Structure 1
Amino acid sequence: MHLARGGLDVVAVDGGIFVMGGFDPAKPAFFDSVEMRRTGGVGTWHDVAPMPTARTNPAAAVLGGKIYVAGGVTNDDTDSDVVEVYDPRSGRWSTSTRMPFARSAGAAAVLDGVLYVAGGGLGDETLASVVAYDPAARRWRTVAPMPTARWALRLVASNGHLYAIGGRSTEENSLATVERYDPKANTWTTVAPMHNTRAVPGVVAVDRGNDHFIVVVAGCPVANGVVGDFFTTTEVFNVKTGRWRVLPAQLPRGRCSLGSALEADGSVLAISGGVKINGVITATPEVEALRL
């Protein structure tokens, strides 16, 4: 990409992959920058209209063909409740209804035409709460909270459910925990944990016929607030069997706070994120692909 960045979020819509926000430890301010590339082809990145609000660790998802970016941390070090919407057809940003309260490092996903934002942090508080946005009514409502409060998690929709994956706990430990939300029952269920605890990994849902998978790429382990060596591994969850498998393929070097998306041929992309070079955390603009 043009910018190396961690704390980003990634969505795919209308044959394009969009990367929003984030930061580079070598630069003084959070990014309002948005880059996109078409799926397929040579994969060249292009800058599009920047977000009205620069931020890191936002939560983004696609609803009705538009990109919704919720919350995050702004350059005045404030957790945000701002929701901004990008229309890839017009190339313009607009402002949507604010969330009921601010949060950063939460996660977003869309299921059955509803935008959900889960977890995150508000000041020193780690959140279990989940809010849902109805675009027709232009209103937010609170739904059942996750059993586990967490920030730096990922949220993904697969086969009629939401899955909250990994993150960091109130005690500042990374989590292997995975919880599934049933929107019809408004209940959460704990499913099989990942093999590794992972904060801010890349996550993407993959559908192959009647089979559904969730791919989790890299991320970082955290113990009592101390961040360990970033993971190079990828785990795949089979939604039908409820089991995880660690793939033999590994990234060339560990990554944390990265994004993921699907390429046109079904490959999983590991997009930007943080890396460690000689023990120092920095950001990388690199994008790598995994053929499943």
Structure 2
Amino acid sequence: MIFSDDPGLQPILFGLFLSMYLVTVFGNLLIILAVSSDSHLHTPMYFFLCNLSLADICFISTTVPKMIVNIHTHSKEIIYVGCLVQMSFLILFGCMDGMLLTVMAYDRFVAICHPLRYSLIMTPRLCGLLVFLSLLVSLVDSQTHNLIASQIIYFKDVAISNFFCDPAQLLNLACFNTFINNIVMYFVGAISGLLPISGIFFSYYKIVFSILRIPSSGGRYKAFSTCGSHLSVVCLFYGTAIGVYLGSAVSHSPRNTAVASLMYTVVTPMLNPFIYSLQNKDIKRAVRRFHSRTL
């Protein structure tokens, strides 16, 4: 196992990652059920939050179950098809997370900068279209990476140095020059990463200027408090993602890369429901109502 080769630590790692996986699935599923069961939360913001929670469940499910199996079997091998499938879904749901965070930033922009036109702009049809486009962009990004990897790499099985298959690791297994494919893959990755970040940055640029024009400090705080949970998740998601890629570029240690990737692919999806439930009174009320109904 990449985190530790000590056989005595394997049961501890097994229990730790299994617990983190169950907490993530349960926490995000609880948000979905609480929002779905509370008619007061049938708004665009919480519709996007439900989709984000669903994407987080799928995102962590692409890596942690395989990692738990590897710990249990003391193996780091993965077959060729399994590696490509895992990489495909990892990129799909990772990109989906970024796109949904961008859509949520746009929702906050409309709510704060155009409050009187909010219900006219953020219609159910537009919300559904935005989620569909997020899925479509993520699918194109995922299949582009998958197509490039499948054309230049073939192996029966491989011992992965991380706990999941990532594009950079697969390219290192190619038996010939992959310069052009590297360029294409990193270009696609940059586009799928920079576009959401640019959209989020532009939305909050407009939001901050709109909030600063509010005369009372109480009004400014109330307006900005509606963005607190989303902004925290954005910083956590992109902060850990950027840290993974910068860390892998600077350090060639497989263990350091694995630890950084763990933050990005496991810890972030686990913390998202806690961030929203702790900072959002509506979510806390909805969870309490849902809990009282199930008793």
TM-score, scaled relative to structure 2? 0.26
Higher relative contact order (CA 8 A, sep 6+): 2
Question: Per residue, is there more helix in 1 or in 2?
Answer: 2
Question: Larger Cα Rg: Structure 1 or Structure 2?
Answer: 2
Question: Per residue, is there more strand in 1 or in 2?
Answer: 1
TM-score, scaled relative to structure 1? 0.26
